[in-house]
Every structure is written in structure tokens, then in C-alpha cells.
Amino acid sequence: MDEKHRGRVTRDGIRIHETADFAGMHKAGRLAAEILDSLSAHVYPGQTTAAIDQMIEDQVTAAGAKSATIGYKGYQHASCISVNHVVCHGIPGEKVLKDGDILNIDVTVIVDGWYGDTSRMFVAGKLSRKTERLIEVTHDSLMIGIEAVKPGNTFGDIGHAIQSFVERQRMSVVRDFCGHGLGRVFHAPPNVLHYGRAGSGPVLEEGMFFTIEPMVNLGRPETKILADDWTAVTRDKSLSAQFEHSVGVTATGCEIFTLSPAGRFHPTYG
Ligand code: MF3
Ligand code: CO
Ligand code: CO
């Protein structure tokens, strides 16, 4: 382990966590990832998103943890499930999945006060070639963003790496939602943008904890919120995908707190 360092808050309001805090984040991140791992067999045509959400809530309870989303700003579910052209914050419900639907399932748990926040894509039934490419590019954009996480780089370097990769594939990055600092709180500074200029924004320091969670659209980047005040959809109704990890900056790079123990983060790799 690196030399122990102490907690403080930067000028930008970003908390620098202590070396010992990484263990708490690993535990919370692992539970969130394990819950997502367990869902693969339960996503199929005919299944409802409410049933999937119920399995998530049951597992959070069984683990003695808490859901971060139940009760958050009036939200009432243990997950967000965003199907097809839903960009994020889809509300689980009685809608039945059909063959070829793609969905992002986003779970945030609290373990011993620490937040673990992760999401990934699932497919009901058969995946079309075009959709497979969207999922692939979105997954790879997150991992390319994570590669830019190390002390001395800036948050703009992360956003720039993601945006330039996605646009080279002729897809678009959503601007209306971003990643966020987290730790003993759900959403903290900074806003982690998935687009931007290299070298812009706060400088990364060891001990920063945050999420990276790019949303990528096959069409244009614009979104709108539906009348339920949560569901964000693409304005042009094009398909959208998202992957999210929680990470912590180390002396030489970063640790991913939400790695899939089963190796199932990407739906077709694992
Ligand atoms: N987990 C989401 C995120 O990545 C936030 C969901 S808030 C909710 O930040 F209330 F919609 F669940
Ligand atoms: Co998040
Ligand atoms: Co999330």
C-alpha cells in the first residue's frame, strides 16, 4: 500500500479520501457489481423491469446493505432500468421486455456508509449488429476514460478521451447528465463531464473518488425528461447505452471499485 495520506477537501470542493477509505468503497462497489452479475439470467423477453428491480431490492436487503436510490429525492426503486431510447433514470415498471431490447440497469448501494454506484447494459434475447456496436463503443468509451485517471491529469482529459473516441465512431455523447464525486455521499463535486477539452477542469489527486458513466446515442445527443419527472429519453428516439464504474485515484492510476467478480461487465465479453 502507498504511503498513508490524510483527508481534506480541495479548492474545487472535491474530497481527498484517506488510504483506509478505499477498503470501504471496495466493499460497497463489489456488492453493487455482484448484484448486477446475478441479473444476467433474469433479463429475457417476457420479463418485466419491475420484477428485475424487486430482485435487486431483495439482494440489497439480504446483504444487510441499503439502497441509495429508495427515498432519494422521492425516487422509490432500488434501480434505474433504462430501455432502448431511454438514456437514464428509467423507472422500473410492468412494461414487458421484448426480443432485442437493450437495457441499462443502474444500482447504487450503501455498505457501512460507503456508496457503490455502477451500471451496465443487458440484452433481452437477440442482439442486432448495430446495437452490439453501440454497446461496444459505450463500454470502450468508459474504459478509455478510466485509462485517463491518474494524478496530474485533469477531469477534462477524461471527458476529452471519451468524447473524441465516441465521435470517431460517429455516435454522440450525452451532455445533459454527468458522473459525480461519491464516497460517504451519493452525489458530490465534481461534475464528471463525458466531453470536453484536454487539460481543462480540476487536476486529479490521489484519494479522489468518483463515477464515470458515459451515455452514448446512435443519433443526436439531445435528451428530454418525460412527464414522470425522471425518465430521460433521446429527443430523436435513437437508441442509447450507458456503462458506469465507481473509481478511486491512486498514486499511479486508479482502482475500479465496481469490477464484476464474474467478469460479466460487458454483456457479450463475459
Ligand atoms: N445511480 C444514478 C447515478 O449514476 C443515480 C440514480 S438517482 C435515482 O448517479 F434516484 F434516479 F435513482
Ligand atoms: Co452515478
Ligand atoms: Co448509477
Show the cell assigned to 118.
455502477
pLDDT at 267: 86
Q: Could you tell me if 25 and 32 are in contact, meaning their C-beta atoms sit under 8 angstroms apart? A: no
pTM here? 0.97
> Which one of 36, 60, 66, 72 would you pick to mutate in the ligand 1 pocket, going by the greatest count of ligand atoms within 8 A of its CB?
72
- Helix and strand element counts for the chain (H, E): 4, 17
Bridge partner residues of 115 (DSSP)? 110
The band of 1, judged by pLDDT with boundaries at 50, 70 and 90, is: very low
Mean pLDDT, the chain, whole residue set:
96
128 vs 88, higher pLDDT: 88
CB atoms within 10 A of CB 70: 14
> Which one of 35, 67, 109, 117 would you pick to mutate in the ligand 1 pocket, going by the greatest count of ligand atoms within 8 A of its CB?
117
Q: What is the pLDDT of residues 21-58, one digit of tens each?
A: 999 999 999 999 999 999 999 999 999 999 999 999 99
Say yes or no to pLDDT of 119 above 90.
yes
Measured from the alpha carbon of residue 75, the closest ligand is 1
Once rounded to an integer, what is the mean pLDDT over residues 61-78? Answer: 98
Say yes or no to pLDDT of 3 above 80.
no
Ligand 2 geometric centre to CA of 47 (Å): 25
Bridge partner residues of 123 (DSSP)? 102
Once rounded to an integer, what is the mean pLDDT over residues 116-139? Answer: 96
Q: How would you classify the pairing of strands 15-16 and 232-234?
A: unpaired
pLDDT at 224: 98
pLDDT at 6: 72
pLDDT at 4: 66
Q: Could you tell me if 248 and 29 are in contact, meaning their C-beta atoms sit under 8 angstroms apart? A: no
pLDDT at 7: 83
Say yes or no to pLDDT of 165 above 50.
yes
The band of 16, judged by pLDDT with boundaries at 50, 70 and 90, is: very high
Q: Which of 167, 166, 151, 258 is nearest to 212 (CA)?
A: 258
Show the cell assigned to 244.
458506469
Say yes or no to pLDDT of 270 above 80.
no
Got the DSSP string for 141-169?
HHHHHHHT-STT-BHHHHHHHHHHHHHHT
Q: Could you tell me if 149 and 247 are in contact, meaning their C-beta atoms sit under 8 angstroms apart? A: yes
Once rounded to an integer, what is the mean pLDDT over residues 225-251? Answer: 98
Say yes or no to pLDDT of 18 above 50.
yes
| Phi/psi of residue 57, nearest 5 degrees | -60, -45
Atom in ligand 1 nearest the alpha carbon of residue 211: 4
Atom in ligand 1 nearest the alpha carbon of residue 75: 10
Question: What SS3 string covers 195-215?
Answer: CCCCCCCCECCCCCEEEECCE
Once rounded to an integer, what is the mean pLDDT over residues 168-178? Answer: 98
Atom in ligand 1 nearest the alpha carbon of residue 79: 12
Q: Which residues line ligand 1 (CB under 6 A)?
A: 69, 72-73, 75, 80, 89, 106, 108, 117, 211, 213, 244
